[in-house]
Amino acid sequence: MKGVLYIVSTPIGNLEDITLRALRILKEVDLVAAEDTRRSLKLLNHYGISKPMLSYWKEKEKGRSEVIIRKLLAGQSVALISDSGTPGIADPGSVLIKKAIEEDISIVPVPGPCAFIAALSISGLPTDEVAFLGFLPSGKNQRRKILGDVKLEERTLIFYEAPHRVNETLEDMELIFGKRRVAVVREITKIHEEVLRGSISEVLNEMKEKDAVGEYVILVEGRTAFTEPATGDALWEIRMLMKRGLGRKEAVKKVAAEYGLSRKGLYDKSLNEIS
């Protein structure tokens, strides 16, 4: 009989943020597969749980998945946990889950903390429709390309960011998104939890006066008719389309229709501002 793979969410900071069910599962399984066994051991020790552990970090994800699948096929039960939050959500886990599905192994979610959901709940931004994009690329050009690709997105945009890049990312967001509202949440559920809300430029100015430490969640207001100058947005879109090989006339025609702008006026502006 095949074992069961449990996808167990763990605290993102405060160790009290773990469910009774998660604790029971961690006590009952044969093996705990952890993103970082050293960090996860602190959690298990805190609750007096002693179980065999196997490291399951991103660089070893493919190979370790094979090991875990063999154990599951042999009838062992396995709990997959990440350093914090929910496995597979901007953390290792998707490779193992896919392989388990292919082997018809039962997969059981044990829900709990998730940083971007917690941050969204206190952001003050619309929560009915959101788009989670995880970590942006570290390279400026790649990062700006992705931000440009979602510039017209009307849903609230959610990103994770590392402390050493958070200000650079906000600068790119200000360049591309303009005067939108943003919420930056730092160290959520931890002692130094902090939320900064305001326009991107206002929050960026506050951030520059602080030491950037801990993990960040950045939430950006989706595009609305009231948050950005339409012509500036349109010119940005034309520039992106032309970089992808579309002719100026076709790019202007497409964007003018989307924004409800004069095709001739937009074309003339593009000649002046886009080489």
Domains assigned to the chain: 4-113 (3.40.1010.10), 116-220 (3.30.950.10), 230-273 (no CATH)
| Residues 138-195 pLDDT 10s | 999 999 999 988 988 999 999 999 999 999 999 999 988 888 999 999 999 999 999 9
Q: Has residue 225 got a pLDDT over 60?
A: no
State both tokens at 16.
Answer: 């009290």
Q: Has residue 99 got a pLDDT over 90?
A: yes
Residue count of the chain: 275
How many CA atoms does the CB half-sphere of 49 hold within 13 Å? 22
What gap in Å lies between CA 27 and CA 22, rounded to an integer? 9
More confidently predicted of 231 and 71: 71
What gap in Å lies between CA 240 and CA 186, rounded to an integer? 32
- Contact yes or no for 42/83 (Cβ under 8 A): no
